[in-house]
Amino acid sequence: MALVSLLGSQVQGKEGTVDVASLSDNDVVGIYFSAHWCPPCRQFTPVLADYYKKLRADGRKFEIVFVSSDKSEDECAEYYAGMPWLILPFSDRQRKEQIAQKYGVRSIPTLVLVDPKNGETISQDGRKIVNTDVSGENFPWKS
């Protein structure tokens, strides 16, 4: 499965460990690169959280995995406390770098949208989608 090779076998959730293979039950998985020290990130994260909650409340099969660019595990934990989705373990810095390189992430915040069934990239500019498709009516954003 494409997401397992990308994210590893497990990510963390608010309730504990989540098997990455189970993410294929979603129509879209967002990979969210962000950090607490980044002002644009702190501005976009609450917008994304509201959007995520709305889509999920509407029954949309959408999940996000946070990939932290924080400088320490404590900073990451504090920032993640306000997020409603999953997180790549902070300690897995090598995988974080591999994922960022795969998607050409050069700045944060970056939201990459992926089809979890085949691993294909839907968009590398999920921020634009969140800011323009505010109602989520175009979900799952596939042409």
Q: In the prediction, which pLDDT does 2 show?
A: 83
Mean pLDDT, the chain, rounded, equals 95
Of 2-6, 7-11, 13-17, 65-69, minimum mean pLDDT range: 2-6
Percent of the chain beyond pLDDT 90?
93
**Region 50-75 average pLDDT:** 97
* pLDDT of res. 1: 62
The predicted-structure confidence for 37-49, as pLDDT tens digits, reads as follows 999 999 999 999 9
Residue 142: what pLDDT? 85
What are the extents of the domains in the chain? 2-132
Arithmetic mean of pLDDT, 99-123: 94
**Taking a C-beta distance cutoff of 8 angstroms, is the pair 34, 41 a contact?**
yes
Percent of the chain with pLDDT over 70: 99
Please state which CATH number belongs to domain 2-132: 3.40.30.10
Half-sphere exposure of 53 (CA within 13 A, CB side): 9
Tokens of 16: 């504990």
The whole-number average pLDDT for the span 57-76 is 97
What confidence category does residue 33 fall into, taking pLDDT thresholds of 50, 70 and 90? very high
For residues 84-113, average pLDDT: 96
Per-residue HEC secondary structure of the chain comes to: CHHHHHHCCEEEECCEEEEHHHHHHCCEEEEEEECCCCHHHHHHHHHHHHHHHHHHHCCCCEEEEEEECCCCHHHHHHHHCCCCCEECCCCCHHHHHHHHHHCCCCCCCEEEEECCCCCCEEECCHHHHHHHCCCCCCCCCCC
